Chains A and B, each alone.
Chain A
């Protein structure tokens, strides 16, 4: 994105440095203020709907981080008696938030990678679902493999499924110029219908409910702690993928091509880059990352797939990518934030009776605020630094 101000050559070194520092400051400031504003408007919605904002946001906090008093109490009991039951209970919300954040990191990276190439991947939802189904299939159907082969194979299956699902709109965009936004959404609906059929037919486990069989223990992502805590290696894998995406985008020729196609397809074409190849490649990689989000959820947390499994991850991912400024590390931070919000919202729903959909409302608002930083600047009276923005404001009105 064109967020980093490019200083003019006439400027002195110091001015240049100042400009860069304040630009980084503003790069962090605006997302924070956008989230804050989203939360404030969310609070207004909660208040208007007749609930107590403090109860609601209090439940949101303890649901995502855990209660500090319980944590101290748990530690005291653990050191005094060696009984870790209350300690586990106290850290459960925190680890659960990290578990929720794991698929968000993958899915957010997926959308961010697309943005870098000028492609809007709204299909992370469908890719997530297909990835989960593929991983589950590999996980329960192939028997007798050792874990060090079975687990990578299951992960690879999920990535391949998602990549295939993402590649189709990528190819259609590259070859026919078909708008990827509409096509990825169509692919989402096709994925939902396909999964309805699969879960009620070929992939259905014995029993009443339309769910798959459990994956074999050899295909599960190992967990760090004993049973109630579901924190697993998926989180580490997600961080590794974030670094891999960073490396790909900023340290390789392929990444340079992707970014230049995103910045200016016509110029890149003129420079001899293959636009079709880049579009297909990026959508396949993005699909693969979203597929891995599904895999990590199925192999690390649930161990089976049921209807409605994807539950809005794809749309959340858009907010994450925008919030993280399409930078892999920014996406990780944003994913952690949303992981904590989502995880806490479950408690908010059960304790304060606020439907979990409030998070979608906050997300929609955050996207708007991030996409229109001028609103934030105007709300909080932040002086704009960027030259093009001053031009925009000057251009308004007759």
Chain B
């Protein structure tokens, strides 16, 4: 970031460097937090960093949407393909916006939420890890370099393993270890994939790689790379049946971490998959030559049904939501598997809507867990009476999960079903509807327990969650409703992102 032209006015200067700032701000905040060490100060720094990141992400998104093109940023002024390039278009700007947005919701919540779940002397580590995780996720999104994706993937993953392990339950350690194993396998497969691509093309810059790959023609090596990257990234996505790490990871990590991960981590990996499919390999190679769409479609359908049925039988609401996430990921990959603008719009819209919905649900649930001392359905009996606001907020979030009109989830369903219908795949529309009925069942398990059962005898006589947890949770629930009633903005951005994705970086 040196070599600044003195003729450029300072404000344009700053706006030029937005892509790198978005990664740098959370990255630098992490060591600062470690130096400060005090619980409150580290929270404050993390809070400021995440608000700043959100501001930057919003500006960046606005810039991209206004310019209607790609913003390329050469790190250290080393031009691509030699240097590492950040490349921002409507797709990753939007996903980065989502990630940063969730960060802003989660951090105020952490102040009390984490105090209850993580030991005082580890607070600064928690915040440092959360910032590294944020940095890693944003880095994956913005970078235009295949290996750099891997680096950021590892940064975010390592931070995530630590965050999960900080859960109060001792099973958190096993969950973290499980995720570590699966995540490492995924990352390794991914690296093998890009290794093959590097051998084929001699470049790691994604845009460059895309260009050269199109000249290579259809060879076995491309197929191998596609397979490695698909499986590797799918592990991180938790695409059925590679989801086994996810339920434990969400169930045993601290509530704030569950909310953050559920709303961001898998979404970012889905972005990576979309980027490789549509930008690097190209839709023609992926869908027409190798028929990946069929495989993805089959897995998506399995994801929409099997984990949803499993969710119905969970006693622990955190696990229930986790299985529901695996099921909802199926909707997103279903949209991708259609390979059309409509399908991609649906997928990207659901990235956004599901991030809001699941984030809101986990945030609300975190408050409930704090008061009830557990997420087991037995502990939640009667909370319709003891915590009316939280219970009602959870129901609203649940309605969004089902896709009731007036909630964000409905918008996703609208896009997904119309995309399937426009392709003449009428039966897929039926499958989506059937799957949402399963969501009705698992959401209603909560409703019946919350409103029809008496609170357990040892239920502590306390009311709603503390304000600092309630407000972010309710705001996020409010966002679910707002973006369900007025989806012109999110729908428009999703459409533009889908178009950008199909157009590629050329």
A binds B: no
Which residues of A come within 8 Å of B, CB atoms? none
